[in-house]
Amino acid sequence: MKATYMFGPGDVRIIDAPDPDLLDTTDAVVRIVRACVCGSDLHPYHSMDSTPDGVSMGHEFIGVVEEIGSDVRTLTPGDLVIAPFAYSDGTCEFCREGLHTSCLHGGFWDAPGMGGGQAEAIRVPYADGTLVKVPGVDEKSKLLASLLTLSDVYGTGWHAAHRAGVTEGDTVAVIGDGAVGLMAVLSAKQLGAERIILMGRHKSRTDLGIEFGATDIVAERGEEGIAKVRELAGGHGVRKVLEAVGHLPAYEQAYGIVRPGGIISRVGVPQYEEAPVGFGSLFGGNVTLTGGPAPVRSYIEQLMPTILDGTVNPGKVFDRTVGLDEVPDAYRAMDDREALKVMIAL
């Protein structure tokens, strides 16, 4: 089969890879029909160590079940399914608590021994715990783009708003106008936020943010951006800050605009290990820091009905669609900010 591998910074190739097979009785083989490139895929695109064997890529996909192991009980061949960006058994203590990204037996796509989702097919371990069947929808549906967001970005944006405790009447700031930031705007709106300040500087993206529910746009960065947000929020800062970037300047923006006693919910994959947490950043203002890798498996069934009934259309974050052979150019386009998020149609 064809699959996407990265061999070093900027070096993305489509190669011939072995077809996936069932290895355990709880596995399923899924033929992928839609996948996409994630903003977090651009981190290794910039900085990974070169390797002659390459690394499989892709952790967001939906597909059709082709084959199941003898112990799979909830799926049958032909089912259209959504795969979260982490696989999980669905039964361990953390899965039962809704924290599937900490599953005792789970893991992440593209890890050694696992395939990636930017490919024609993939083996899914713990199929009953990982995959979510989409009722009444087939692979020709116009809803595929929106359903694909449930594999990561919509669930991650929801996680940001949920962990911040966004509720009716809140004022919320969202840092980042990428796909996750836009989904955080949508999620905050769904949870009842009255005012949503989106920090972003790409007009095509912030226009979509307004469509999703943003009430104010702040394009300024650094101290100027902090001052503008604080002014909009009445001078003391914002109670709920959703950080969807992952770079240190975004974190610094977050603690610069958060109100004393407020919450920073951080879902951008952090590209740093050390960051201020002392008196001048978090401690002095009694600020709570939360977030983390979103356990999107726990949110899919909650969020899917509004997609199926047409209430929301998160698939609008995809502004370009390519075939599998064009994936290397999709990475380039997203890295050059020519595309917000690229969908792969197989």
53-95 pLDDT, tens digit per residue, is: 999 999 999 999 999 999 999 999 999 999 999 999 999 999 9
Backbone torsions φ then ψ of 122, nearest 5 degrees: -155, 150
Residue 315: what pLDDT? 98
Tell me the pTM.
0.97
Q: Give every CB contact of residue 224 below 8 A, 6+ residues apart in sequence.
A: none
3-state DSSP assignment of residue 209: helix
Contacts 24+ apart (CB under 8 A), 189-192: 189/213, 190/161, 190/306, 190/312, 191/161, 191/162, 191/166, 191/167, 192/166, 192/167, 192/168
Residue 233: what pLDDT? 95
Dist. CA 47–CA 248, nearest whole Å: 16
Residue 274: what pLDDT? 96
Instruction: Name residue, tokens 């936020």.
Output: 193
Residue 284: what pLDDT? 97
198-231 pLDDT, tens digit per residue, is: 999 999 999 999 999 999 999 999 999 999 999 9
Enumerate residue ranges in the chain where pLDDT < 50.
none
Dist. CA 259–CA 124, nearest whole Å: 43
Residue 113: what pLDDT? 86
> How far, in Å, are 159, 191, 235, 275, 294 from residue 249 at the CA level?
21, 27, 21, 10, 21
